[in-house]
Structure 1
Amino acid sequence: MSKLLRQSLLMLVLLTVLTGVAYPLLVTGLAQALFPGQANGSLIVKDGKAVGSTLIGQQFSDPKYFWGRLSATTPNPYNGGSSSGSNLGPTNPALTEAAKQRIAALRAVDRGNAAPVPVDLVTASASGLDPEISPAAAQYQVARVARLRGLPVAQVAALVAAHTRGRQLGVLGEPRVNVLQLNLALDALQKR
């Protein structure tokens, strides 16, 4: 019996070292060597300081910035620790009311814009953390952002086009615009 207990403890220690120490160190080392940006959270660094990630949206409420999708996380928007969808179905009155409020907010900051509001500006993504919007959602906001920043509409539209990423591998997903990267590019454009 003691021989069996000794062998069991030895296997426990050996497997703990292999799977709990050696394997994680190997995978972490490979990730840092081969994909350092992704392994460290796909951070966006500005002036030597991390300002966000390309993977998690941020709250922009100032009308001179492009606005992203709604966040489904509460109590703080875009909180990665409480990521989840709103679980509101298309016939849920709460979803309809939230969409009406967002449309009203968009119309209030851009009174002259009578274009239909793109659906991704009034709904949250499945994770509630989506950092990207559709090119249509970005185009919807171009005139407002250009006007409030004193920039030509064509220049802001060109910036949106430059930050539009296509489908992955040409067929997966939809074209998209990262809101944080676009807003940082806008700030850099105005500093010049």
Structure 2
Amino acid sequence: MRLVGVQDTDVTVQHPGTDEAAVAVRIGRTLLYLHQQTTAEHFLNVWLESHEAARALPVNADRRTIRGLRGMPEPGVVVNAIGRPASSVTIVGEGEQVHRSYLRIQLGRVAFEVRDHGAFHSCTNAFRDAYNLARYVFVPPGSERVLRGAVDVASDAFFPALVKRDLRATPSRLRPAAAAPPQRSESGPYRRPPTSGTAR
């Protein structure tokens, strides 16, 4: 990843205070998700330790070295990082080619080819912001964690979702009770009640 001049950077927080917390660092079209505070601290230290080597860089590098290629746009890179990935810092082009020197900073599988002061300082500031955010984003080990979906599960336990068939009126299976036969009077014989129509 070749960097010339002040970079377009952005640092955001994803799911703070949960098991899935991350600090996202975007530098140009490269996006790094840092999943631990130690990772953010480690990456910042790599850039800070490169400060002395960065003094050999030109103030402003030739921007023609990053011009786009016809038919192939700049690729985007997305990386997830945890722990302390292997890193290295190398100054390239010293001596007779000092005016073309650049700083190669490698973090895990991602290599930054830093060409001038603007690129170096803007990237360093981005990782400094990431470290400052990481101190408040990640849950300390051993403390209570809020898992994604736990609140929904608890809510379902107290307020179960209604099923459509529960909303329909339940058809009654009760039938009207048959009329009870008239009781015979104790004072006289049983007589059939009169019916409608002509008597025969």
TM superposition score normalised by structure 1? 0.20
- When you count strand as a share of all residues, which structure comes out higher? 2
Richer in helix (by share): 1
Highest CA radius of gyration, 1 or 2?
2
User: TM-score scaled by structure 2?
Assistant: 0.19
* Structure with bigger RCO (C-alpha 8 Å, 6+ apart): 2
